[in-house]
Amino acid sequence: IIGITNSKAENFSAWYQEVVLKAEMVEYYQEISGFFVLRPLSMHIWNTIRKWFQGHIEEMGVEETSFPMFLSKTSLDKEKDHVEGFAPELAWVERAGDKKLEVPVAIRPTSEAVMYPYYSKWIRSHRDLPLRLNQWNSVVRWEAKQTTPFLRTREFLWQEGHTAHLTEEMASKEVLEILELYAGVYEQLLAIPVVRGTKTENEKFAGGYYTTTVEGYIPSNGRGIQGATSHALGQNFSKIFHITVEDPQNKGQHVNVWQNSWGLSTRVIGVMVMVHGDNKGLVLPPRIAQLQVVFVPVGINKNTSPEDKKKHEDQMDEMRVTLKKAGVRSESDWREGYTPAWKFNDWEMKGVPLRLEFGPKDAAKEVVSYARRDTGEKGEVPIADLATKIPELLETIQADMYKKAEISFREHRKMITKWDDVLPSLDEKNLVLIPFCLDGKCEDRIKELTTRADDNRDVPENQKVPSMGMKSLCIPFEQPQVNDLVPGETACLNPECKGKAQKWVMFGRSY
Ligand SMILES: O=C(C[C@H]1NCCC[C@H]1O)Cn1cnc2c(c1=O)CCCC2
Ligand SMILES: [Mg+2]
């Protein structure tokens, strides 16, 4: 059978794996587990994101760089505090050919330790600031946990931006500019709403000063997912790597520069699949779809005369040219030996946003029949109006996909003021906003208190009650303006905590 055999609601993880494989997005790399091949459909999405993001950071004055993919043990040991937690994920090269390496080298899991010795060398005067470099590359993190395409892989493509500034103000301004671009990748390209906020002490990048993040929501399981992070590093790394400039305010004094680092990876593609996909397969937002429109000829069969078939083909080619001129990416499916219905299923599985059916009856009426992938809605467009109506329809699809996801996310963000309402709310696939004291120990306890002892009931997958506890996802920039939380007065929601709530914090089961 073609088409997706797993149901998204019944077995989400099996559905996901099946979709990314059958839609020809990825291939499992059989030779070594945890690695995947990205196929053209995925690379088109990644390249669309890259072009958009690259254009914006160039406007900001960010330049491109490319550093070696290996780092030496010596430079790694320099920042052992922040790396130590990650050491198990480092992949090492010990030998080249049959020669043992004097000093083993690690494959970069991220490039701070590779780049910052050179930041120290290049940044002498405050005139060298701001230094803003970004690189598009891949990194390796030898995950111990189960890997899954796009969401958790041992190698992934990303961009990593690393900047240095004279003052904390200049650095913090950029942190937010970049975060807004990350939100734009999700909201404008992938039709996915995200909540912007700050990570708590427990969840921030340990080597940094503070972390800002865009958080997504997966309706199928009600879990939160980190979308991308923009970190203020403070002066932590410039102290470790001695990146200083003479203070223009008072000569002779040296100040450590203020740094940021920011990253967005191919994980975004996995989020898009999970949020928009359905039981027929992928549903692609038109702005990132390699193929936006597929023409399928109908009503053509062995009784059709060769000249009629030829005429039909020419008309379809003409329509494709019209669409190409209007900036629409389309193909015609003339595959022999497959019924239109078979073709409809195939393109639906691959997520093509809009199908145009064209048969002799349509030709007679000088229309083309359309079917939207997101809603299934059908209709007709006069051939004469293609150049305007089809781009409009694609933008409508993009907007409707976003709207649907935004409503779903908004409806599943619950403000909770009674501790006993937390678990039931999580079990209804919600994220929760709770009055929280911001203390790391309290957060650890909240995770424990909301972890259900797995009683190993052998219930069917979709009734299996998730046992994981809730983590903090972010402190939303947009704090609910209600008086249920008076900072410093309202109690932290954790019943065991004596502390006072400082902020509404979004918690949830998460990836
Ligand atoms: O990578 C970062 C911070 C920063 N790196 C650059 C891009 C933005 C941001 O991700 C955090 N981090 C996550 N994961 C790991 C490391 C690590 O530093 C280092 C060791 C292996 C695993
Ligand atoms: Mg990790």
> What string of DSSP letters covers 140-206?
E----SPPBTTTB-SEEEEEEEEEEESSHHHHHHHHHHHHHHHHHIIIIIS----EEEE--TTTS-T
Ligand 2 mean position, distance from CA 439 (Å): 23
162 CA closest ligand 1 atom index: 6
| Closest-approaching ligand to the CA atom of 233 | 1
pLDDT at 456: 57
Ligand 1 mean position, distance from CA 281 (Å): 33
ipTM exceeding cut-off 0.95 for this assembly: yes
Return the residue whose CA atom lies nearest to atom 22 of ligand 1.
86
pLDDT at 457: 59
pLDDT in tens, 172-209: 999 999 999 999 999 999 999 999 999 999 999 988 99
Q: Which residues of the chain have pLDDT under 50?
A: none
pLDDT in tens, 61-97: 999 999 999 998 877 877 776 666 668 899 999 999 9
pLDDT at 91: 96
Ligand 2 mean position, distance from CA 32 (Å): 19
Give the mutation target among 82, 110, 226 for probing the ligand 1 site: most ligand atoms within 8 A of CB.
110
Return the residue whose CA atom lies nearest to atom 3 of ligand 1.
205
pLDDT at 460: 64
pLDDT at 107: 97
pTM of the model: 0.96
Secondary structure (H, E, C), 448-491? HHCCCCCCCCCCCHHHCCCCCCCEEEEEECCCCCCCCCCCCCCE
Ligand 1 is surrounded, with C-beta below 6 A, by: 83, 86, 89, 109-110, 141, 160, 205, 229, 231, 261-263
Ligand 1 mean position, distance from CA 197 (Å): 19
Return the residue whose CA atom lies nearest to atom 1 of ligand 1.
110
Return the residue whose CA atom lies nearest to atom 5 of ligand 1.
110
- If DSSP codes are grouped into helix, strand and coil, which group holds residue 508? strand
